[in-house]
Amino acid sequence: MTNFTLKVTRLGFSLLQSVSPRMAGKAAFRLFCLTPSRRPKGEKAKAAHAAGAAKLASAERFVLPLAGGGGRAHAYRLNGGALGRRPRYLVTHGWGSSGEYMADLVEALVATGAEVIVVDFPGHGRAPGRSLHMGIAVKAIAAAERRFGAFDATLGHSFGGAALMVAASGMLPGTAAVLPERLVLIGSPSEMHWLFKDFGKMIGLAKPAQQALENEVRCVAGRRLEEFDAGRAAGAIRRPVLVVHAEDDKEVGANHARRYAAASNDVRLHWANGFGHRRIVSAAPVLEAITDFLASSISGKDAEIIPLFDLSARRASL
């Protein structure tokens, strides 16, 4: 938000919550779920989007209806159909992103010969709508499994990674778990409560309206906000998980990665320092670490955890 927009928004919520904290909480939830503009901002973003679109140009495209009339997602498929059975991977993007920005990762996965599905969540990329929350994202992941079949691995960035973990745990009422053999989480939050707290502070919610905002999560998604705990889910699914994170990530703090790693011996943590929150999805050392993890027969922490920047040196010594 611009400073002017934020001032107007804070004034509006100040007036509304003085009349009805519950109405203010509901309005705040709708604002929280409002998806940003799909247009790339800045020359770098425009160039990245155009390059990603070119890499996805040959992909098959699908519309994915969400269960319960919850809108539609969009999917790309590469190496699918008549090519026969091969490892099948699902890729999900972060908030305000799209499949185009995940194209370098997709390209690396396609090069392994795998069938790769890339989902645009509602309100993002080629998917219609202007609203998204965790419940909708999990339904989109479930819709992808219904359309394409079980996944050998699921890979997600930021919000998309957390949604994959929530989906794997079967946390959303009425939606079957989407539990792959392996998961890769890149710059992903381990829980969402902090985000709602920060949002409430930004728009000036007092405690009653903040509580109403958080209660709205339960009304819409069927779970309390505290229950959407992807870090805890990592310890329950009993699957190998690779967590890739940068300690210089300014959007999702490094403590989220540490929390995942502490949840289970099945979680392997790789630091990708220097790549921040966005460049991490296309960094060559990250792509190498991910493809190695997917190809390896090693699970959990039976293998030594090697920092990303040490991979090349380590291989040279073998």
Q: Could you say which of 227, 249, 272 is where a domain stops?
A: 227
Q: Are residues 77 and 145 in the same domain?
A: yes
| Co-location of 243 and 223 in the same domain | no
Give the confidence band of 305 by pLDDT, cuts at 50, 70, 90.
very low
Residues 266, 292: Cα–Cα separation, whole Å: 16
Residues 119 and 200 in one domain: no
Long-range contact set of residues 46-50: C-beta below 8 Å, sequence gap at least 24? 48/100, 48/101, 48/282, 49/98, 49/100, 49/101
**Structure pTM?**
0.91
Query: What is the C-alpha separation between 20 and 155, in angstroms, rounded?
Result: 41
Structure confidence at residue 309 as a pLDDT band (50, 70, 90): very low
Cβ atoms within 10 A of the Cβ of 19, count? 9
Percent of the chain with pLDDT over 70: 92
By mean pLDDT, which of 21-35, 147-161, 217-231 is the weakest?
217-231
What pLDDT shows up at residue 81? Answer: 77
* pLDDT computed for residue 68 by the predictor: 84
Query: If you average pLDDT over residues 156-162, what whole number do you get?
Result: 98
What pLDDT is attached to residue 273?
98
Confidence label for 318 from pLDDT (cuts 50, 70 and 90): very low
Domain that holds residue 241: 41-191+228-317
Q: What is the pLDDT of residue 85?
A: 78
Question: 252-302 pLDDT, tens per residue?
Answer: 999 999 999 999 999 999 999 999 999 999 999 999 999 999 998 533 333
Contact 186, 157 (CB under 8 A): yes
- The band of 162, judged by pLDDT with boundaries at 50, 70 and 90, is very high
Asked whether residue 316 carries a pLDDT value surpassing 50, the answer given is no
- Counting every residue written for the chain, the total comes to 318
- Return the pLDDT at 301: 39
- The tokens for 106 are 């997709």
What is the CATH number for 257? 3.40.50.1820
Question: Is the same domain home to 86 and 153?
Answer: yes
Q: Are residues 10 and 129 in the same domain?
A: no
Tell me what the mean pLDDT of segment 147-163 comes to.
Answer: 97
Is 238 found in the same domain as 144? yes
Regarding whether 218 and 232 lie in a shared domain, the answer is no
Are residues 75 and 54 part of one domain?
Answer: yes
Average pLDDT in the 219-224 region? 90
Number of domains in the chain: 2
Contacts of 298 (CB under 8 A, 6+ apart): none
Which tens digit of pLDDT belongs to each residue from 28-59? 999 999 999 999 989 999 999 999 999 999 99
- At 117-136, the pLDDT tens digits run 999 999 999 999 999 999 99
For the chain, give the mean pLDDT.
91
